[in-house]
Amino acid sequence: MTIEDIDKVDKIFIEHATGKAVLIISDHLPWDVDEGRHLELLQTKVYRQLDGIESGELYQRVPLTNGRPFAIVIYSLFELSQDGRNLVNNLTHYLAGMGIELRWIRFDPNATPDKPTRPN
């Protein structure tokens, strides 16, 4: 699943270091092709995941998330555009007000165990 599957969680896991339930968004789209659509997809995907948290649907589908704080992590194949950066910053502040962390990480397909992808 990817950013284009707006009604699905791409992946979910429990982060051992923090105990957070982490929802993954896989963003494989370039920013220099139809940026408006990309912005809309990203915002919609984040809000749909937020809906799943607020409605309790995620707790029902994945009982291990019950009572845990949430983080949403966007793994992106491409560097953010300026508008993409603005959107991620706005979403980060909005979600933080609800106690949900948002992270953006540039995925490096050439990463190896001795040279992992680094969060931005």
**Two tokens, residue 5:** 């599957």
What average pLDDT does the segment 81-103 reach? 97
CA 22 – CA 12 distance, rounded (Å): 5
* Domain regions of the chain by residue span: 11-106
Beta-carbon contacts of 88 under 8 Å, excluding residues fewer than 6 positions away, are 42, 74, 80, 102, 104
pLDDT of residue 112: 67
Q: Give the tens place of pLDDT for each residue, 6-29.
A: 988 899 999 999 999 999 999 999
Q: Count CB neighbours of 25 within 10 A.
A: 25
The pLDDT assigned to 109 comes to: 74
Percent share of the chain, pLDDT over 70: 92
Predicted confidence (pLDDT) at residue 32 exceeds the cutoff of 90: yes
